[in-house]
Structure 1
């Protein structure tokens, strides 16, 4: 019962993105009104085309209305009048938009290809693209091998003088560990005759969400070298105290051990410099509900503590483990922006697969950049191709 209660708690309205839920509510009306019985598809193809056209128009009108509300919201924030926009009144939890969202244009484009809009159109003025690792660049628990089609797309970004950051939860402190996960990409960058040395240096790896930075280094066998923290830490991160870090990790470790024992998890506890977690032993798969239960218990325990109020952290389900990291991906993306001489959030795109509010470590990246929510490495490839097409059309 405890697990069911906690999982259902995580799915309640206040745990969801209220803007997305509001837009879904707007779209639900024409969806229901224009839905047809299965027989329509079998016997009335011309009528179906008419219904589809009407539905498309209704969806497009709604997207334009939302687009205008967002533009008004951006205008109010720029005029130092936060909280005064109509959108803020309709969706009190709505946050900051770093770019205008051309939702009607995006819907028309996506509807032509997929018959329904599933993501927002990304502005083509992207200077920095950051990626999650597992499920975004490669399958969960796998490596970025030379045959992965995303490699050619990332090389294309670098050739266009865009910067690339891989912001991963993997909290290794040694460069060779990251090379093992990313060797296909790093070797391709190293051997590329199309990229200049300056362009090759446009790729970095941020590990442990926001704790360890590595730059491309052609002189190293692993193609990466460690970047000292003083070269990229944000001012706020400099204020994080080591005593607080230890206290938070101690608290999280105790909560993890309690869950391990209470839920009989076939797992071991691993303590790192800036993280602590539980991972499976002997290659077993841990039940998803047990992982979610553990995330919610640890997150609630730390959030209610004094140190949890002072220090940012991220508790997340990694697919077959649970970890708590100091900081989160909003800090990781912002640190990448600073490392590349202060790239604007509105010209940054973070691509990841975990954007649910509970136990998802890409969620906080929305505080630092425009984001794209994908569900597989194949979708990442498609998204990068769409971005390239948008850039090409914009330059004509």
Structure 2
């Protein structure tokens, strides 16, 4: 049965992320040039295999170029913030990076995004380069960005904070985080590594009991865990839509 959330989501016009749409447009070019949408029979030349290899090479090049533009855009990875600003001003850009000019809505990047490596990883799992009829989608690009974010954060050391969207991510719309949910053991592991966990839910409850009903599987697992110290068990908060923050006592 289709949930109310999915029905309303399908009926509404959603604003797409301009940065993701821009990357998707870049990746559409190799797909058009190298895909084989018509019937191609494998020959001694391995036509489809060559197509996938060439498409993969071009996809990686594009991701590496975007990665370099992000590095240039980000003050965190400039050799000097002042020098970077002056460099852009000298060419009449008033401090704007090339990425900012191409994607005006772009914001600040707080971590480095190894997009080329992230694409290679996801390409092995999702066979993006081998596709002949479906170009890289919005969700493909978003997943690559998420993967790059994880790679970028974990490469610099221990993860201090991890946040999760509750509804339609950790659990289905209107459902609860049950004890059998496989994500629970992963969250417990993160907490055992002194990573603070935050869960954001669209539920606008004002009573703690209702949040417990929604997250009881995880809460009981934290309470009964033998690998978490008392201090680690307190590194868990829940945030709702009414600006209410709950912390596990």
Same fold (TM over 0.5): yes
Structure with bigger strand share is 1
Secondary structure of the 2:166 match is coil
1:162 and 1:8 map into 2 onto residues whose CA distance is: 38
Instruction: After TM superposition, give the deviation of residue 8 of structure 1 in Å.
Output: 9.7
Instruction: After TM superposition, give the deviation of residue 68 of structure 1 in Å.
Output: 0.4
Kept in 2: contact 1:31–1:55 (CA 8 A) = yes
More deviation, 126-135/72-81: 72-81
Secondary structure of the 1:161 match is coil
Aligned to 2:190: 157
Gaps spanning 5+ residues in structure 1: where?
1-6, 218-396
Superposition pairs of residues 217-232 of structure 1, within 5 angstroms: 217=249
- How many corresponding residue pairs? 206
Kept in 1: contact 2:42–2:48 (CA 8 A) = no
1:10 and 1:128 map into 2 onto residues whose CA distance is: 32
Instruction: After TM superposition, give the deviation of residue 166 of structure 1 in Å.
Output: 0.9
Aligned to 1:169: 202
1:183 and 1:138 map into 2 onto residues whose CA distance is: 12
Kept in 2: contact 1:158–1:195 (CA 8 A) = yes
Aligned to 2:118: 106
Aligned to 1:213: 245
Q: Do the aligned partners of residues 69 and 113 (structure 1) sit closer, same or farther apart at CA in structure 2, a change above 3 Å counting?
A: same
Q: TM-score, normalised by structure 1?
A: 0.49
1:185 and 1:8 map into 2 onto residues whose CA distance is: 33
Secondary structure of the 2:39 match is helix
Superposition pairs of residues 307-326 of structure 1, within 5 angstroms: none
1:194 and 1:78 map into 2 onto residues whose CA distance is: 43
Gaps spanning 5+ residues in structure 2: where?
1-9, 86-93, 129-139
Instruction: After TM superposition, give the deviation of residue 106 of structure 1 in Å.
Output: 0.7
Instruction: After TM superposition, give the deviation of residue 43 of structure 1 in Å.
Output: 3.1
Cα deviation, 1:222-264, whole Å, max 9, x if unaligned, reads xxxxxxxxxxxxxxxxxxxxxxxxxxxxxxxxxxxxxxxxxxx
Superposition pairs of residues 1-396 of structure 1, within 5 angstroms: 10=13, 15-40=15-40, 42-44=41-43, 46-75=46-75, 78-79=81-82, 81=85, 83-116=95-128, 118-120=143-145, 121=148, 122=150, 123=152, 124=154, 125=157, 126-208=159-241, 211-217=243-249
Instruction: After TM superposition, give the deviation of residue 191 of structure 1 in Å.
Output: 0.4
Instruction: After TM superposition, give the deviation of residue 186 of structure 1 in Å.
Output: 0.3
Kept in 2: contact 1:83–1:89 (CA 8 A) = no
Kept in 2: contact 1:158–1:200 (CA 8 A) = yes
